[in-house]
Structure 1
Amino acid sequence: MTDYDFVAAFIVGIMGAAHCFGMCGGLMAALSSNSPQKIQVGENLLLKQLKLIFSYNIGRIMSYTIAGALLGGAAASLKGLFNIDHYLIILRIFAGIMMLITGLYLSSIWQGLTKIEKLGSFFWQYLKPVATNLLPIETVSKALIAGMVWGWLPCGLVYSTLTWSVASGSIYNGALIMFAFGLGTMPALLSVGIASRTISNWVQKKQVRLLSGLMVASFGVHTLWVAFNQL
């Protein structure tokens, strides 16, 4: 693993803004639409909205980081247990392929990634009632917990980036890759009100989606190139 992997994961998070709005935009809108009746006397409405949204995103990134650590650690354990030759190289090739698939999805060229998202639906059906019971989210603590729960929402972009965590072969690098990815998704999802609608409209443009997809696909090509050179 190099610094490139962490920077690339961060950029993937940024370029996946259109996907993020589709997956979490509804909840972000709910967090940013607290009515004045729910605000205490002397409390700033915008400040409260920002606290809720920020807390939710912190919780979401915590879940990503935990998932990255678990998968990175599992890969390291398997390597030590079975002592497989070229183990991490094979995983890196898989990660590169997943990035290519993600790039095609983001650019609306091929929607195959949605089939991978369905794999997580089995587990989400048990977490969804917990997430639903947290609504409405009106406190910072509930927003943090909601973020940690919704962080496990089936998401092809997250699954794709998680393959990098597996290929990293360590708890630390796996966690750091997903942390960097989570930070990349923050700018889009921290926006509220008019800013949120403006960004949402911008990232949905065909040219922006195509550019985002091609950039993510280029990371996949680079990952494959590095892996094949290590064989």
Structure 2
Amino acid sequence: MPSGAEVGLIFALGFLGSFGHCAGMCGPLVLGVAWGQKHLTWGQRWRQQVGLHLGRVLTYAGVGALLGQAGSLLVAGGQLAGVGSGVRQGVTVAVGLLLIWSGWRSQVPNWLRWGWHPRGNPPQNPVLLGVLWGLIPCGFLYVAQLQAVATLNPWAGAVLLGAFGLGTVPVLLGLGLWLSRVGTERGQQLSRWAGRLTVLMGVLMLLRTDSMVDITGYGSLLLLGLALLARPLQRLWGGLRPLRRHLGVGAFVLAGLHTLHMVEHSFQWDLLGIFFLPPLPFWGIILGTLGLGLMVPLAVTSTDGWVRRLGKRWHQLHRWAIGIWFLVGAHIGLLMGARWGILGNVTFILGIILVILLRQSWWWRWWGREAWYEPADVGY
């Protein structure tokens, strides 16, 4: 078993590190939880916050026990505990998507109207959320995990990582309880920023996975497609149209993150290497870059102020989204088509075309469903 001095040092590491690293990296998650506690009593807030950190510390202790028992190069190398762990990657994606959904919902609570009341709150289990929180990859946590591996004892590993987790509790618990008590206009401002930071935290969670290129690329295409369908599907999905600009900006953000990751990891900032690629990936990258460039003015003008300034020209400008849709589709098809096979390529092409067809009134008339179609008011 570790000595009292070792436990004290690892506790101090967690406590001192929580003022900077933990508050910055995990702060958005704490804010997101606190935002949902405005209607609760002080006792309920306390129990939920304590349950959240209890679940997190239990996960740390469990991982510490596992690391202490194994103490092998397989575990220390990251197959289970590191960023490359399949379990942690899966949990990170799930938590990231949950954070994005929760933060976005706080900004636009009526975004979805099918099978869910917009003012209802999904059931929450703070201990379970804390358990999942404890599985999120964290560079600061790996320092303590290495100490757990070195013990070669499950109980010692559990004690060390549990002590580390307890060290991070005071700052994060105090921050969560304080934020849950803030009211009036300041509280509303913090709630809005909590939602935005929660979305950002979710995006960062996705970026820490090995599959972030696919997530951001396909995610951008999905959001752009929903933005294009928001108006024609108004009568079928009324809650989608108010989010049209949010969806477009989200598509731009994901496309930008996708591009940055490719430039940094695939090309290592050697952009001249693009000109030495085979024809299909070369033109795929060129078309994707063009699509991203055309997204910039659309994202910049996606505010109420620009809508008023541009008037009808705003709708004309944002019709570029149709061309961008084809450019992004061609980008993905040229780069990924070789992996999909004939059936996959045909399905993808039909999906790209279908989105454009659903924007056409004649398509709905041809199927005898014109009553389901919402025509363009100003041409977009």
TM-score range, shorter chain: 0.5 to 0.7
State the identity as a percent.
28
Aligned to 1:170: 153
Inter-partner Cα distance in structure 2 for 1:27 and 1:5: 30
Inter-partner Cα distance in structure 1 for 2:98 and 2:178: 28
Q: Which has the higher helix share?
A: 1
| Residue 83 of structure 2, aligned match among 108, 114, 120 | 120
Kept after mapping to 2: 8 A contact 1:32/1:50: no
Offset at residue 47 of structure 1 (A): 2.6
Aligned to 2:30: 28
How is 1:90-169 mapped onto 2 (pairs within 5 angstroms)? 120=83, 123=86, 124-131=88-95, 132-133=97-98, 142-169=125-152
The Cα offsets for residues 157-176 of structure 1, whole Å up to 9 and x where unpaired, read as 11110111111120110000
Offset at residue 141 of structure 1 (A): 5.8
Aligned to 2:68: 72
Which amino acid letter does the alignment assign opposite residue 69 of structure 1?
A
How is 1:23-62 mapped onto 2 (pairs within 5 angstroms)? 23-34=25-36, 36=38, 39=39, 44=41, 46-62=42-58
* Runs (5+) with no aligned partner, structure 1: 79-90, 92-118, 197-231
Which amino acid letter does the alignment assign opposite residue 156 of structure 1?
G
The Cα offsets for residues 169-224 of structure 1, whole Å up to 9 and x where unpaired, read as 2011000001111110010010146846xxxxxxxxxxxxxxxxxxxxxxxxxxxx
Kept after mapping to 2: 8 A contact 1:31/1:49: no
The Cα offsets for residues 106-156 of structure 1, whole Å up to 9 and x where unpaired, read as xxxxxxxxxxxxx515544311343244875x7896211111111111111
* Runs (5+) with no aligned partner, structure 2: 77-81, 103-120, 180-380
Inter-partner Cα distance in structure 1 for 2:178 and 2:93: 31
Offset at residue 49 of structure 1 (A): 2.4
Kept after mapping to 1: 8 A contact 2:49/2:176: no
* Secondary structure in structure 1 of the residue aligned to 2:125: helix
Aligned to 2:8: 7
Aligned to 2:219: none
Inter-partner Cα distance in structure 2 for 1:157 and 1:8: 15
Kept after mapping to 2: 8 A contact 1:72/1:167: yes
Inter-partner Cα distance in structure 1 for 2:148 and 2:4: 13
Aligned to 1:227: none
Inter-partner Cα distance in structure 1 for 2:64 and 2:8: 15
Offset at residue 26 of structure 1 (A): 0.6
Inter-partner Cα distance in structure 2 for 1:51 and 1:22: 23
Aligned to 2:213: none
Inter-partner Cα distance in structure 1 for 2:6 and 2:68: 14
Kept after mapping to 2: 8 A contact 1:165/1:173: yes
Aligned to 1:16: 17
Aligned to 2:172: 189
Inter-partner Cα distance in structure 2 for 1:166 and 1:180: 15
Kept after mapping to 1: 8 A contact 2:30/2:176: no
RMSD of aligned alpha carbons:
3.1
Inter-partner Cα distance in structure 1 for 2:51 and 2:5: 28
The number of aligned residues is 151
Structure with higher Rg: it is 2
Aligned to 1:84: none
Inter-partner Cα distance in structure 2 for 1:139 and 1:172: 37
Aligned to 1:96: none
Kept after mapping to 1: 8 A contact 2:68/2:152: yes
Kept after mapping to 1: 8 A contact 2:49/2:177: no
